[in-house]
Amino acid sequence: MRPAVERARTEGTELFGKAVIIGCGLIGGSLALALRENGAVRQLAAVDSNPSSCELAVQLGVVDAAYEDLRDAVVDADLIVFAAPVRQTCELLSELSTLPLKKGCIVTDVCSTKAEVCAKAARLLPPGVHFIGGHPMAGSEKSGVRAANARLFENAVYVLTPPDGTDEGAFSKLAAAIESVKAQVLVLQPALHDRVVAAISHVPHIIAAQLVDQVMRLSGHPEHGGLYTKLAAGGFRDVTRIASGNAAMWRDIVLSNRDVIRDLLLDWQSGVADLLDKLGESEGLGLQSFFHEAAEFRDALPTKLRGAVRSVYEISIDAADEPGLIGKVATLMGIHGINLNGVGLIESREEDNGQVLLSYRSKRDMEQGAHVLLINGFQVYFRD
């Protein structure tokens, strides 16, 4: 940790007088709640073009006030956070640059790509206003301010991309605020961030969508198309889970990082060609080596930190197929105050020991749920 960040944390918990969150969704709302809960800000305001989102954010206590107009909200703001999609953020940066901002104000964002946003901010924002790009590696299958969670950023990597010559005091205050919500700050250059995240998030999303598209086309076969959807209930759903993201949002992310993604897809194409060659080997030693190396690398990845792709907290249980089973499980979770996100039957068990799948919103809930099930006689399997 930089010494200045340590000083910012020890000189007082309140780091900003007024913070403005632009975008009353899951990420913006969660950040507002986390900053408030940890005493990093005194006053919170939000901006959203949807009046109902603004009203709901105030009703839920996420912010103190909400505005539809950017000018009204940013008056005297010490911190401004763009929690909107990348295309909208770039448009709003143009509007923000025409407004009278408080000297020393810190502006940041939460976009999944950094080079485009950071370059635009550098061109447009006036001297005395400090822009520091940001990307929290956190998310949820839920959306909207109603799903906001103050613990969303705990143990998550939060990337900051300060430009060269960034004021040390401004960086320290923002980094301290992020660390106050129990996220782990990682400083990267915007271009490097985009290269890494393209490989671990953007391209995997494209590939997952392509896999779904292939099975969707195969499912249209007039004779045996129904088998694809029936047997895809197990591992295929897990592998392609991220393909369920918002289509418009992912369009903007991919277009914002298209050059890096194009290079990685060409590299993927080369890898597929190499696999096709391995399929021609009689003994399959090349394939075995391919699977072995992939498994070793995957198993060595860190499990405590949360990365660019949303973590899944799931267990499965093995139990007799009897009436009322799911109700019994749900009742056990309710009695012990454990937040159960979803329950489902696993029809295709090729890669699963259990037959009932339980999903939770946090690792803590999952571990507590597993403990309750174990002491009640269920066989529990953790899914990794």
Kindly give the confidence (pLDDT) of every residue in the chain, 384 residues in length, as a single tens digit, with 9 standing for 90 and above.
343 343 344 444 689 999 999 998 889 999 999 999 999 999 999 998 888 888 898 999 999 999 988 999 998 999 999 999 999 999 999 999 999 999 999 999 999 999 999 999 999 999 999 999 999 988 766 678 888 888 888 888 999 999 999 999 999 999 999 999 999 999 999 999 999 999 999 999 999 999 999 999 999 998 888 888 888 866 788 788 888 888 888 999 999 999 999 999 999 999 999 999 999 998 899 999 999 999 999 888 776 555 555 566 788 887 666 677 888 888 888 888 888 877 776 654 444 445 677 888 777 888 888 888 888 888 888 766
Q: Letter for the amino acid at 111? A: C
Domains of the chain, each with CATH number or no CATH = 3-188 (3.40.50.720), 193-299 (1.10.3660.10), 313-382 (3.30.70.260)
pLDDT at 1: 38
d(CA 344, CA 359): 9
| Max CA pair span of the chain | 71
Q: Which two tokens stand for residue 22?
A: 């632009």
Give 7's contacts (C-beta < 8 A, 6+ positions apart): 172
Amino acid 297: pLDDT: 92
Length of the chain: 384
